[in-house]
Amino acid sequence: MDDQAGFHRPALSMSAIAVHTSPAGALIERVAETEGIEISLALLLCLVRSVKCWFDLRMPQLLLASTNAGKVAEFRRLLQGCGWEIVTPIDLGLELSAEETGDTYESNARIKALAGVTASGLVTIADDSGIEIEQMGGEPGVHSARFLGEDATYPERFAEIQRRLSGAPRDRRLARFVCVIAVADPRSGLVRVAEGEARGMIAVEPRGAGGFGYDPIFWLPQQSMTMAELPEQQKDIISHRGRAAAVARQILRELLHEYREDNSGYRPEQR
């Protein structure tokens, strides 16, 4: 059909029609029309490809191999904005069976991370952490979550620790929190680790309603409060898990870059 100036308009090719009728193309054209912007087919094609590229680079899923509500909430804060969508076994309907039989934090973290990879096929992050008390020879250490048995409550554990430290001078109440994070890559089978620690003392009595685990009895002299009394933002900076997560974030950034560069290799599952 000729336009008013007498020039003949070439028929649109099927690929051009596909661009015009695609959701992205239609949206871009609507915006351009609203703003009074003339847009060529070539520019429209470039914009549509850019939108498609953006969708291709959506956040891949990262499995956090934990069902501990406090730990999950903390990791979501610590890894926010790292480029991965954090999902849990509950989110995916998975039941992870990983017995923590290791004698170090790293070995237990590796066991859990690899179990997550096997069950989900996703890049998996897991941690193992504990509290080490000098007067108790470094106990409970890797057994912190099972100290006094699986069914023991934390108030019961606190009471037992206070009993063992009864009469101990201040300099014998020294303690440290340790956290080791393992990041398992299903593509290569490699596991990378990050470690962090926080040093303090065992408080005379539990204080604070924040945090979880042994936080209420872990006294931080420089802050003059327990870990459980710290605001979340401050805790995330100085805690053992916060320090380990800062290193883990770099590992995750490197993995994300590798996946996006490898067009033919494994791509993490996306929702």
Collect all residues with Cβ–Cβ distance below 8 Å to 152 and sequence separation of at least 6.
none
- CA distances (Å), 267 to each of 9, 40, 60, 190, 260, in order? 43, 34, 8, 16, 8
**Burial zone of 112 (CB within 10 Å; 0-12 exposed, 13-18 middle, 19+ buried):** buried
- Catalytic annotation on 128? yes
CA dihedral 71, 139, 228, 150 (to 10 degrees): 50
Annotated catalytic residue within 2, 3, 91, 128: 128
DSSP label at residue 170: G
Q: Strands, DSSP E only, in the chain?
A: 61-64, 85-87, 123-133, 174-184, 191-202, 218-220, 225-226
Cβ-defined contacts of 113-118 (< 8 Å, 24+) = 113/65, 113/182, 113/183, 113/184, 113/191, 114/184, 114/191, 115/65, 116/63, 116/65, 116/89, 116/184, 117/63, 117/184, 117/185, 117/186
Residue 78: burial class (beta carbons within 10 Å; 0-12, 13-18, 19+): buried
User: Tokens standing for 186?
Assistant: 């299903």
Instruction: Show which residues are catalytic.
Output: 128
